[in-house]
Amino acid sequence: MQPHSATGSPTPDDGSTALDHVRNMVSACIQCGTCTGSCPNALEMDLTPRKMWRLVILERLADVMASRTFILCSACYTCTLRCPRGLPLTTAMETLKGIAFTRREARHRNSRLFYEKFMQTVRHHGRLHEMAFMTGYFTAMKNPLTPLRFAPLGMKLMGKGKVEMGFGKSAATHLDALFDKVAEIERAAAAPLEKESHA
């Protein structure tokens, strides 16, 4: 992981080229703040979307990667629809998430495992299977306290019949080709980032 900047200097930190793609997406930002004012999750974010785009433009990779803003983006597309410059902000947030996961940033390990296990479950079952998903996630987390944290929510969902018990049947063969193709595309896109993170 890149060292976190403590100086507040706009000088690019090492490895900032990982942000090139996102910087191109938001380079026309005029810092009007409409994205922040429109975002339903902004109050929970450590950096507002407007600040995030400013850091991206300044190539502050370490500061961007240290933030949870792109993790908390729920891809509602409101900012994208309202940005007066017509910038693809939701895609930019998704791309930041991809960069963080590709770089295996320790700060975002829990979220990365959550996404990975979610997608593995969908691939295996053809849809989300809650028990299989959470079992895979808890196992990957290797922390016996994690299930306790989710217990109240699990009980509530079970009480409403929202959680299917058992582990379901595999539907892997139907989705394998699709998942393999996406993995191939993502590997090609991530190759420069991986090379950079090991430089």
Summarize as ranges the residues that interact with ligand SF4 (CB under 6 A).
26, 29-35, 38-41, 49-50, 53, 73-79, 83-85, 87, 89-90, 93
Complex with ligand SF4: residue 4 or 85, whichever CB lies closer: 85
Cβ neighbours of residue 71 closer than 8 Å, sequence gap 6 or more: 97, 100, 108, 111
Complex with ligand SF4: residue 82 or 123, whichever CB lies closer: 82
Residue 21 tokens, joined: 């793609």
Give CA separation, 169 vs 9, 123, 175, in Å: 54, 12, 14
Complex with ligand SF4: residue 26 or 113, whichever CB lies closer: 26
Do the Cβ atoms of 90 and 77 come closer than 8 Å?
yes
Complex with ligand SF4: residue 2 or 34, whichever CB lies closer: 34
Complex with ligand SF4: residue 10 or 84, whichever CB lies closer: 84
- Nearest distance, CB of residue 166 and ligand SF4, angstroms: 34
- Nearest distance, CB of residue 61 and ligand SF4, angstroms: 19
Do the Cβ atoms of 133 and 164 come closer than 8 Å?
no
- Nearest distance, CB of residue 113 and ligand SF4, angstroms: 21
- Nearest distance, CB of residue 102 and ligand SF4, angstroms: 20
Complex with ligand SF4: residue 93 or 132, whichever CB lies closer: 93
Helix axes 172-197, 89-102, angle to 10 degrees: 80
- Nearest distance, CB of residue 64 and ligand SF4, angstroms: 14
What ranges in 83-129 are assigned the alpha helix state H?
89-102, 109-125
**Rounded distance between C-alpha atoms, residue 136 and residue 152, angstroms:** 19
- Nearest distance, CB of residue 65 and ligand SF4, angstroms: 17
**Rounded distance between C-alpha atoms, residue 113 and residue 147, angstroms:** 14
